[in-house]
Chain A
Amino acid sequence: MTISNTTFDLEALSLRGINSALHAAEEGAFTVLNPGGAHALACGLNAPLEVTIKGHTGYYCAGMNKHAAVTIEGNVGTGCGENIMSGTIRVKGDASQSLGATGHGGLIVVEGSASARAGISMKGVDIVVKGDVGHMSAFMAQAGRLVVLGDAGADLGDSIYEAELFVRGKVASLGADCEEKPLGDADKAALGALLEQAGIDADPAAFKRYGSARKLYNFNIDHMDSY
C-alpha cells in the first residue's frame, strides 16, 4: 500500500501545515522531523497512514486517531492518543500523564513508562505499557484493556466500570471498587494475543488481572427495597 515516504520538517513548516497535509492524505508513509515538543502533532488523522515522528512531542500527540499507525521515536506529553478511535500509536520513549484518555478503540503501546492517569476514562482502547504507570491509572475506565509490564502507582482502577487491567509488577494500591480477578485460560489467551499484537514478548501467566467489584456504579438488586 505504501508508495512513498514524505518528510515534513517542523523547523521549516508550520504545525498547522503539517497536520493539514496529513489530514488531506488518503494513504502513504510520512516522517516528521524536529517535533521540538510541539502540541497536537498528527492529531485527528482519519486514514490508514503510517506516520513516524522523530523526536519528542508535546500535548495530545496523535489524539483522536482513526485508522493511522503513528510511531513516536521519543517521549510524548500529556494526553497522547486522547480519544483514539482506531489504528495504533507506538511511543518509543515515555508518556506523560493522561495517556489514551477516553480512548474508544485501537491500540497504544508505550515502550517506556507512562505517568499518572494512564487510560483515564478509557472506553475501549487497548493500552500496553512496557514500563510503569503512575497513580490513578485507569481511573473511571469503562471498557478496553490496560496492560502494564512494570509497576502501577497508587489507586489503580479507581471507580472502574468494565475495563480489564493486567499488571505484571507491583501495584502500589487499588482504587475504590477495583479488585483482583482470577486469570483464567481464556484471559491468558486473550492477553497473549494482545501482547503479540503489541510486539511484546511476555508470558501472560505472569500477570495479575484486575477489574470492577461492581459495587459503586450500579444497583444491587438484593437491596432494591432500600432504594
Chain B
Amino acid sequence: MCGIVGLFLKDTSLEPELGRLTALMLHEMVGRGPDSAGFAVYDAPLETAKITCLSKTGETDWRALEADLERHLNAGVETAIFEDHAILRTAGNGAEARKRIIETVPDVTVLSVGRAIELFKGVGDPDAVANRFGLEKRAGTHAIAHTRMATESAVVTAGSHPFSTGEDTCLVHNGSLSNHNRLRETLEKHGETFQTENDSEVAAGYLAWRMREGDDLEAAIGHALEDLDGFFTFAIGTRDGFAVVRDPIACKPAVIAETDDWVAMSSEFRAIAKLPGVDHAEIWEPQPAKVYAWERAA
C-alpha cells in the first residue's frame, strides 16, 4: 500500500495556498504509507536550471560540489541548503549538471532537474517530512506527493517518492512493477541513468526516455501502458501538466475531483474531502488504462 496525492491549480489566486492544501491531503494518506514520504512542488519556470540534491550521509561538502560544477559547466552555481537537501541554481546546462553529480559524487542523489520543479523526500512520519521541508508555506502551480509503504526496495530516503529522471518530470506510484529490472537495462542502453534499485524510478525513467524521443505526456503514458508490467496508479507532474493513469487491472485505488479552480487526485477521497469547494466538485474514479491529463495554458 502507498498513498498518493496530486493537486493541480486552475485558479492562480490559489497558488499561495498550494503547499498548505497539499500538506492537508498528504496528512490524510499517512495511514497508507507511514514509513517515508516526499513531495514535488512546481512553480512558475525560471530562466535557469535548478537541481534538487539529497545528501545520503548528510555530510556532503556542498561548497566543493558547487565549485566543481562551476568549473565543469563554465557557469555560476548558487546553492541553498535545506537540511540534507540542497537546491543548486545555475545558468548552465541542468542535465549536464545532473550527469556530473551522479558520476562524481557518490554521496549525492539528484532528486530533480528542471526550471519549475523542487523535490523533497525523507524517511519517517510523512507529516514530519512535510514540516521539515516547509511544504505548508510553499507556493506554486501544482504538486504531487506520496506516502510510502515499501514493498520492492529498502526504506531509505533515496527510495522515497516522487521520482524524477527527466527535466521537470516526476511521478509517484502506488503499486509494484514486475518487469523493472529488464526495463532498467533497456533504458540504460538508451542513455537513462538510475540512482536506486526502486521499480518506480524505472517508470519515471521510462517516461523521461519517451518524452526525450518526442512523445508528449499523453503519448508517453500510452506507451507506458504497453511496456510496464505490474500494478500501478501513477500521478505524474510535468512543467505545465498533470496526469493520472491506472494499469488495466486497476487494483490500486484512485479518485479524481475537479472544480473550476483545481484538479485533485488521491488514492482515497478522504484526502480530497477538505479542499475548498469540494462540495461542488465533479468526482470520479479513473477508468483502468485510461490517461487523464491536464495542461496549463501557456
Contact = CB atoms under 8 A, between A and B. Distances in A.
Interface of A: 36-39, 56, 58-59, 75, 77-78, 93-94, 96-97, 115-116, 134-135
Given A36-B274, A37-B271, A135-B288, 8 more contacts: A37-B269, A37-B273, A77-B269, A78-B253, A94-B284, A115-B250, A134-B287, A134-B288
Nearest to A136: B249
Contacts of B285: 94, 96-97, 115
Contacts of A37: 28, 268-273
20 contacts: A36-B270, A37-B28, A37-B268, A37-B272, A38-B270, A56-B273, A75-B269, A77-B253, A93-B283, A94-B283, A94-B284, A94-B285, A96-B255, A97-B250, A115-B250, A115-B285, A116-B250, A134-B287, A134-B288, A135-B250
Contacts of B284: 94
Contacts of A58: 268-270
Contacts, number: 44
Interface of B: 28, 250, 253, 255, 268-274, 283-285, 287-288
Helix, strand, loop or mixed for chain B's interface?
loop
A96 B272 CA distance: 16
A6 to B, nearest CB: 23
A143 B268 CA distance: 30
Most buried by A among B28, B270, B283, B288: B270
Contacts of B274: 36
Contacts of A78: 253
Nearest to B253: A78
Nearest to A38: B270
Nearest to A153: B288
A78 B273 CA distance: 16
Contacts of B255: 96
B228 to A, nearest CB: 19
Contacts of A93: 283
B1 to A, nearest CB: 12
Which 9 A-B residue pairings sit nearest by Cβ, starting from the closest?
Answer: A37-B270, A37-B269, A36-B273, A37-B273, A115-B285, A56-B269, A116-B250, A58-B270, A96-B285
